[in-house]
Amino acid sequence: MTSPRVAIQTDDFDLQHEIAALRAGDTRVGAVCSFIGTVRDRNSAPTLGTDVSSLPPEGVLSPWGGPAAKDGSSTITSMELEHYPGMTEKAIEAMIDEAHRRFDILGARVVHRVGLLQPLDQIMMVAVVSAHRGQSFQACEFLMDYLKTQAPFWKKERTPEGARWVDARVADDAALARWGIDAPNA
């Protein structure tokens, strides 16, 4: 039995298992490209090396003991993702169909987690198989750009100050536009 192309789930996933299911003994596969996204604290200061001479005079710790963001906000303690079951899978299936139209790929799989996640947790995976690496790389990147702007997920970041919804980013729209798709995520 073949694995579904799209999985929306609360449980973590195993890249090795997902790739094995996607390849499923297909001897035509010459390339596998994958992307794993993790929950990160996009507000935190960069990891410090041994040279601290470039630190700002105010330091890098937030009042809660963690690294502070450049804008003064505190670190992300968790992220919660919501979606509309059925609608989300249908939208991602359409994205995979479009990747098949644009690129010479043999298969693709998207796994996206929902629910409460912690920093460093795996949040999503895109994997693409093809006969040649160029098509796999392009299709994987295309799917990532498409997912960032068009997949119906809602993300809420939690910080010591409270929760806030994550806004759409102009840079994500620009990434999708390079594929000839003008679909702002507003």
pLDDT tens digits for 125-173?
Answer: 999 999 999 999 999 999 999 898 888 999 998 888 888 888 777 777 7
Q: Do the Cβ atoms of 149 and 183 come closer than 8 Å? A: yes
How many percent of the chain have pLDDT more than 70? 79
Q: Which of 11-15, 21-25, 84-88, 148-152 has the highest mean pLDDT?
A: 11-15
All domains in the chain, ordered by first residue: 6-41+61-177 (3.90.1170.40)
Q: How far are the Cα atoms of 8, 75, 117, 123, 157 from residue 45, in angstroms, in the given order?
A: 31, 9, 20, 21, 17
The arithmetic mean of pLDDT across residues 32-57, rounded, is: 65
SS (HEC) of the chain: CCCCCEEEECCCCCHHHHHHHHHCCCCCCCEEEEEEEECCCCCCCCCCCCCCCCCCCCCCECCCCCECCCCCCCCCCEEEEEECCCHHHHHHHHHHHHHHHHCCEEEEEEEEECEEECCCCEEEEEEEEECCHHHHHHHHHHHHHHHHHHCCEEEEEEECCEEEECCCCHHHHHHHHCCCCCCCCC
Mean pLDDT computed over every residue of the chain: 83
The arithmetic mean of pLDDT across residues 1-7, rounded, is: 81
Q: Do the Cβ atoms of 161 and 74 come closer than 8 Å? A: yes
pLDDT at residue 50 is higher than 60: no
Question: What's the chain's Rg over C-alpha atoms?
Answer: 19
* Burial bucket for residue 182 (CB in 10 Å: 0-12, 13-18, 19+): exposed
Pairwise pLDDT comparison (66 vs 36), residue with the higher score: 36
